[in-house]
């Protein structure tokens, strides 16, 4: 019978069902799979197992060291995240896991729960200078409003998505689509968004944005004018004039304030486009994929002829784009016509520096949510004390082990970079609302003082014995270790 | 490399976990502690041979139930066949459609034969056999998508309800489906009956010739699938409201006919966040589908 199947089908003999498993598929149990023609035991699907066992503790761990051998488990090297831990909803009861561990001689407690957040959303920072749409305009996914364009930041366009009004204040499908959009963005998946009277973007956390089908590669170092300001000193004396070609503002060294201050001699250079202030030009060309986001391929097309009144033979001219990706060096001949020459070594460094100051263009996704009543009740019998403890930095808040920024003021409103959280850390409930992991770590003594559910504290070692349903993963390299001792001075 | 069956208590100290090959059971019994221990022991004893019994007749159990079908020998296999028999004239079905429910039911029977319990459940990957003594009840949450586990509804079953089995079927689950339902949950008199009915109703939640639905012959994915070359659902794109309504109504008609024939007690059909409920008016089991109250966690 085996002959009937392709050669890369394997027969699993882990149980008497003896499944034939095709390449890339799993057997009836979902535990054994055919990976590249080999029978391999695969981890149970984290979420599936959780559903199946109706909230059986399934705890991914964040592990500090990569060389864990599975035998010796040092408490401070394992951190129980809330991912898959379950929630306290709808009962006001202790959090699913309250774990104690000893860290450098101090007894610590981590309260681990998954929060259900209907007050939540994401802030998207999209590194691009392209106009995505007017501020305040609606951002849509699958045609449903899911957020709006908010105040642009330097080199980046900002979107604010989600929030309680889109999740539960609009139509059913608006809520559903908003929830899906937030969930996908938080879990690192790509989402397509359209902005009213604006662009269509494809965005995913930590990936370059795609604007109207065009992928952004690098952020420019600054606009053309800013670039003049940044590099004027490095150019002074090595070149007579510099034009930084930019679709937004093209800068000219000899006219620019920075050049004037250095005493750069007037060259009488004349640029196409609309002059804004001295040395700053708008609309030198059409937007495009050429020099500095314009449609220019030959930079001389934006220059008008040099005049004998100002210019002189052998005048040295550098033209460069705001990313340093394009550059050209010219010297004027006796008739004041620019002749392209090899870039002198003295200028190479500055062009290289423009390039290296252009960071990769990314979309960043910050999840923002507020931890309210039932969640805090899972930590302590007196929820306001938790807020107070967090504000006083006696309690550390992490999301799947990633550090959370706590907003000043009332409540526990926090932001976290989703790329620093483990994969697929987020879930949802059809309320609709997002489910996000949240952990509170504090000293055991402090936990007692704030009215914690001390009777429910379990030693880390006990939790670790439940290995069957756990997944160990490495801690994100950039994250501070969630259990690292607290700074004593914060006690005041 | 045959792995031995896993028998263990879950860390909460209350629930028993039994695992063998593709069977994964979570069991909980309430009652006198001696009774609970006796019940768990009986469950484990019965469990260790169950997969081998089934596999001994696997080719037969994977074939279409119909006129010339040879009756299987094993006790579990007979439950499976009994559960699918009512459907075999009308549609393609094999006894495998009831395997999960039949296993759960068999284990629960063994527990009740060994001890007197207030209540107990045997959950076989969402297909659940339940026991309820006088005045006991169970609260059960329903999940629509295994990849996004979240409750879309809750129901309560009391001892008075004629419900002793719950099963859920849908194309996103571990088993193949011919339909497009995210989840069809069925309450019936036994777990095996619920399991077979959930399969049949989930298959009926469907749209023919819809371009947004991806179907692939079962064999292409799983060479020894009992569904052979029948095309199983592997993807469902976003559907219009009217398409969702049409597919759910098609499933509801089947569910209503099964209820009229006394094969099921009630059913909840779920597709792209819309729900249809087919419920017996005379019983206590209630299915709540109202939007859950907002939780500002």
Q: How far is CA A361 from the centre of its chain?
A: 11
Sequential pLDDT tens for chain B (297 residues): 567 788 888 877 788 989 888 899 999 999 999 999 999 999 999 998 999 999 999 999 999 998 778 889 999 999 999 999 999 988 999 999 999 999 999 999 999 999 999 999 999 988 999 999 988 888 887 776 666 556 667 778 889 889 999 999 999 877 889 999 999 999 999 999 999 999 999 999 999 889 999 999 998 888 888 898 899 999 999 999 999 999 999 999 999 999 999 999 999 999 998 889 888 643 334 444 433 333 333
Beta-carbon contacts of residue A105 (< 8 Å; ≥ 6 apart): none
Pairing state of beta strands A97-103 and A458-459?
parallel
**Mutate: best of A7, A17, A144, A432, partner B, most B CBs <10 A:** A17
pLDDT tens digits, one per residue of B103-155: 999 999 999 999 999 999 999 988 999 999 988 888 887 776 666 556 667 77
Q: Which residue has the tokens 């590099």?
A: A231
Tokens representing residue B65 in the block: 């139930």
pLDDT tens digits, one per residue of A217-238: 888 888 899 999 999 999 999 9
Q: What percent of chain A has pLDDT over 70?
A: 82
State the virtual CA torsion across B278, B280, B286, B291 in degrees, nearest 10.
Answer: 30
Residue whose C-alpha is closest to residue B154's, from B293, B24, B280: B293
Give the model's confidence band at A290: pLDDT under 50 very low, under 70 low, under 90 confident, else very high. confident
Return the bridge partners of A148, or none: A138, A160
Report domain extents, chain A: 2-42, 123-214, 224-356
Residues in chain B closer than 8 A to A467 (CB atoms): none
Size of interface A-B (CB pairs under 8 A): 138
Nearest to A15 among B2, B222, B295 (CB): B2
Residue whose C-alpha is closest to residue B185's, from B247, B266, B252: B266
Q: Do B223 and A5 touch (CB under 8 A)?
A: yes
Query: Quick one: residue B61, left, alpha or beta (phi over 0 = left, psi -120 to 50 = alpha)?
Result: alpha
Nearest to A14 among B1, B148, B295 (CB): B1
Scan residues 443-482 of A and list those with Cβ closer than 8 Å to B. Answer: 462-463, 465-466, 468
More confident residue, B201 or A28: B201
> Which domains are assigned to chain B?
6-288 (3.10.520.10)
The DSSP secondary structure of A307-328, one letter per residue, reads -TTT--TT-EEEEEETTSSSEE
CA–CA–CA angle A369, A400, A113 (5° rounding)? 70
Q: Do A19 and B26 touch (CB under 8 A)?
A: no
Give the chain A residue whose CA is nearest to the CA of B168.
A52
Kindly give the residue spans of alpha helices, DSSP state H, lying in A303-413.
345-356, 373-377, 383-391
Q: Do B297 and A30 touch (CB under 8 A)?
A: no
Give the model's confidence band at A459: pLDDT under 50 very low, under 70 low, under 90 confident, else very high. confident
Q: Indicate the angle between helix axes B75-84 and B99-114, nearest 10 degrees.
A: 130
From CA B183, how far away is CA B169, in angstroms rounded?
Answer: 5
Average pLDDT score over chain A: 82
CB atoms within 10 A of CB B210: 16
| Kind and range of the H or E run holding A10 | strand A10-11
More confident residue, A364 or A435: A364
Going from the C-alpha of B146 to that of each of A12, A465, B150, the distances in angstroms are: 25, 26, 8
pLDDT tens digits, one per residue of A417-440: 999 888 788 888 777 888 888 889
What's the predicted TM-score (pTM) here? 0.52
Taking the alpha carbons at both ends of chain A, their separation in whole angstroms is 75
User: For B177, phi and psi rounded to 5 degrees?
Assistant: -130, 150
Residues in chain B closer than 8 A to A15 (CB atoms): 2-3, 20-22, 51
ipTM rounded to 2 decimals? 0.80
From CA A239, how far away is CA A348, in angstroms rounded?
Answer: 12
Tokens representing residue A181 in the block: 């959009």
Beta-carbon contacts of residue B23 (< 8 Å; ≥ 6 apart): B50, B51, B100, B103, B124
Question: How far does the CA of residue A432 sit from the closest CA of chain B (Å)?
Answer: 8
Question: How far does the CA of residue B90 sit from the closest CA of chain A (Å)?
Answer: 27
């Amino acid at each position: 019978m085996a002959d009937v199947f392709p050669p890369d089908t394997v027969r699993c003999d882990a149980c008497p069902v003896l499944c034939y498993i095709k390449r890339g598929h799993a057997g009836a149990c979902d535990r054994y799979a055919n990976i590249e023609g080999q029978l391999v035991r695969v981890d149970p699907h984290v979420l599936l197992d959780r559903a199946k066992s109706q909230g059986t503790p399934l705890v991914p761990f964040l592990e500090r060291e990569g060389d864990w051998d599975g035998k010796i488990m040092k408490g401070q090297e394992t951190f129980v995240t809330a991912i898959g831990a379950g929630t306290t909803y709808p009962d006001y009861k202790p959090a699913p896991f309250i774990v104690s561990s000893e860290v450098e001689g101090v007894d610590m407690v981590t309260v681990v729960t998954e929060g259900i957040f209907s007050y939540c959303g994401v802030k998207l920072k999209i590194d691009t200078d392209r106009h995505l749409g007017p501020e305040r305009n609606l951002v849509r996914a699958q045609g449903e409003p899911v957020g709006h364009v908010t105040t642009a930041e330097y080199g980046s366009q900002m979107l604010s998505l989600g929030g309680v009004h889109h999740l539960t204040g609009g139509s059913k499908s608006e809520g559903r689509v908003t929830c899906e959009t937030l969930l996908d963005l938080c879990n690192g998946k790509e989402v397509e968004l359209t902005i009213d009277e604006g662009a269509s973007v494809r965005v995913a956390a930590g990936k370059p944005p795609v604007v109207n089908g065009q992928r952004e590669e690098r952020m420019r170092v600054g606009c053309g004018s800013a670039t003049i300001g940044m590099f004027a000193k490095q150019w002074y004396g090595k070149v007579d004039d510099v034009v930084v070609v930019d679709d937004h503002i093209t800068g000219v060294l000899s006219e620019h304030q920075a050049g004037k201050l250095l005493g750069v001699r007037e060259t009488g250079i004349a640029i196409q486009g609309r002059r804004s202030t001295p040395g700053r030009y708008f609309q030198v060309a059409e937007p495009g994929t050429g020099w500095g986001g314009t449609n220019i391929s030959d930079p001389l097309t934006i220059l008008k002829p040099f005049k004998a009144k100002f210019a002189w033979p052998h005048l040295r001219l550098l033209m460069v784009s705001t990313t340093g990706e394009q550059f050209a060096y010219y010297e004027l001949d006796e008739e004041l016509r620019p002749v392209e020459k090899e870039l002198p070594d003295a200028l190479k460094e500055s062009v290289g520096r423009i390039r290296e100051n252009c960071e990769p263009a990314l979309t960043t996704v910050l999840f923002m949510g507020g931890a309210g009543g039932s969640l805090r009740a899972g930590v302590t019998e007196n929820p306001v004390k938790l807020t107070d403890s967090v504000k006083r930095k006696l309690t550390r808040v992490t999301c799947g082990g990633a550090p959370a920024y706590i907003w000043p003021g009332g409540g526990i409103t926090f932001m976290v970079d989703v790329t620093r959280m483990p994969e697929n850390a987020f879930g949802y409930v059809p309320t609709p609302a997002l489910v996000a992991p949240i952990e509170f770590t504090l000293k055991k003594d402090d936990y007692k003082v704030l009215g914690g559910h001390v009777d429910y504290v379990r030693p880390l070692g006990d939790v670790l014995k439940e290995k069957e349903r756990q997944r160990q993963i490495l801690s994100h390299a950039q994250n501070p270790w969630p259990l690292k001792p607290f700074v004593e001075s914060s006690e005041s | 490399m045959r792995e031995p069956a896993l028998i263990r208590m879950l860390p909460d100290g209350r629930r028993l976990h039994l695992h063998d090959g593709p069977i994964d059971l979570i069991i909980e019994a309430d009652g006198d502690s001696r009774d609970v221990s006796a019940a768990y022991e009986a469950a484990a004893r019965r469990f260790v041979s169950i997969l081998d019994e089934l596999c001994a007749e696997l080719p037969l159990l994977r074939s279409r139930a119909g006129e010339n079908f040879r009756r299987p020998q094993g006790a579990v296999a007979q439950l499976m066949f009994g559960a699918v028999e009512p459907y075999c004239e009308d549609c393609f079905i094999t006894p495998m459609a009831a395997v999960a429910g039949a296993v759960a039911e068999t284990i629960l029977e063994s527990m009740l034969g060994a001890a007197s319990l207030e209540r107990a459940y045997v959950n076989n990957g969402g297909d659940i056999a339940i026991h309820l003594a006088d005045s006991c009840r169970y609260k059960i949450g329903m999940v629509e998508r295994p990849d996004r586990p979240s409750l879309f509804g809750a129901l309560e079953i009391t001892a008075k309800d004629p419900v002793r089995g719950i099963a859920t079927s849908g194309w996103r689950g571990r088993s193949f489906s011919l339909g497009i339902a995210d989840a069809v949950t069925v309450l019936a008199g036994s777990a095996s009956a619920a399991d077979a009915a959930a399969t049949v109703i989930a298959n009926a939640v469907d749209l023919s010739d819809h371009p947004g639905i991806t179907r692939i012959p079962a064999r292409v994915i799983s060479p020894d699938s009992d569904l052979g070359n029948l095309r199983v659902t592997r993807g469902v794109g976003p559907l219009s409201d009217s398409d969702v309504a049409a597919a759910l109504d098609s499933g509801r008609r089947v569910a209503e006919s099964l209820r009229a024939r006394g094969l099921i007690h009630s059913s909840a059909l779920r597709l792209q966040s819309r729900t249809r409920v087919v419920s017996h008016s005379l019983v206590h089991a209630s299915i709540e589908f109202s939007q859950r109250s907002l939780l500002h966690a």
